[in-house]
Structure 1
Amino acid sequence: MSADPPKCLVPDARWELVAPLLPSFAARPQGGGTAPCDEQAVFTAVVYVLISGRAWRHLPPTFGTSPATAHRRFTVWTEAGLWRRFHRTWRLRFMS
């Protein structure tokens, strides 16, 4: 039996580096807004789209998040500088 593809893309050790770098999503004071979701599933879906070159709309349902949510979080994370911070953290941990 093969390993779960989403789990192979972002193993636990990598997720442990990323999780503290993610910006938090606070509930809006007036209520409503986006529903809570599994951040690891969304991050894994984003990684899949980035490395596969597929369109967001072709994200397989096995990732447990919608293409719209994955794209929206990718945009927020990019604007927050997540990728630069992740790269720096990765380099410091494994390249020093």
Structure 2
Amino acid sequence: MVEEMIRTWAPDDFWQVAQPLIPAQPVRRQGGGKRRADDRAVLAAIVYLVQAGCSWWKLPTQMFGISRSTAHRRFTQWTADGLWERLHQQFLHRLGVVSEIDWSRAMVDSIAVRAEKGGISRGQTRSTAANPAARSMYCVTAVVYR
């Protein structure tokens, strides 16, 4: 069942793209210790987590044969190493090669690219703020009874 779940959430074609992009396993100086969890199992667990929208605590560890802490630790390491960006770029490249993306219709959105505060100053601009009187509190009854 574990192997079936891993192949379901990290299919062979997906794994062939992801495997070369995953950072190499660090060498332990003293050797020994526990055997490193399988990268494909961890990737499958992370994909499951993202697709299911569940929290780390609800990750069904028996389904993938890894612990929650291992999945979270590896996710953090891979995020710091930029794996997700490289994986995204690789899939975009592959889709572009087989003409599955029309780049002429692409757009950039502020969610994808952060807008810099301040921007480029092009000189003096007129204030677009409302009239100061309009921002103050105004009460019709106060005017009538004065």
> With structure 1 as the length reference, what TM-score do the two structures score?
0.86
Instruction: Identify the residue that residue 144 of structure 2 maps to in structure 1.
Output: none
Matches within 5 A, 1:75-86: 75-86=76-87
Gapped runs of 5+ residues in structure 2? Answer: 98-146
Instruction: Identify the residue that residue 23 of structure 2 maps to in structure 1.
Output: 23
Q: When the two structures are aligned, how many residues end up with a matched partner?
A: 93
Deviation per CA, 1:1-29: give whole Å up to 9, x if none. xxx34322221001000000001122321
Deviation per CA, 1:30-51: give whole Å up to 9, x if none. 3456631211001100111112
Say if 2:37 is the partner of 1:37.
yes
Gapped runs of 5+ residues in structure 1? Answer: none
Instruction: Identify the residue that residue 46 of structure 1 maps to in structure 2.
Output: 46
> With structure 2 as the length reference, what TM-score do the two structures score?
0.58
In the TM superposition, what is the alpha-carbon distance from 1:66 to its structure 2 partner?
0.7
Structure 1 segments of 4+ aligned residues over 6 angstroms from their partners:
none
Greater Rg by CA: 2
Q: Secondary structure at the match of 2:25?
A: coil
Residues 33 and 85 from structure 1, CA distance in 2 versus in 1: closer, same or farther, beyond 3 angstroms?
Answer: farther
Determine which structure has greater relative contact order: mean sequence separation of CA pairs < 8 Å that are 6+ residues apart, divided by chain length.
1
CA contact (8 A) 1:27 1:33 kept: no
Q: Secondary structure at the match of 2:37?
A: coil
Identity level (%):
42
More helix by share: 1
Distance 2:84 2:34 in 1: 22
Q: Which moves more between the two structures, 33-42 or 45-54?
A: 33-42
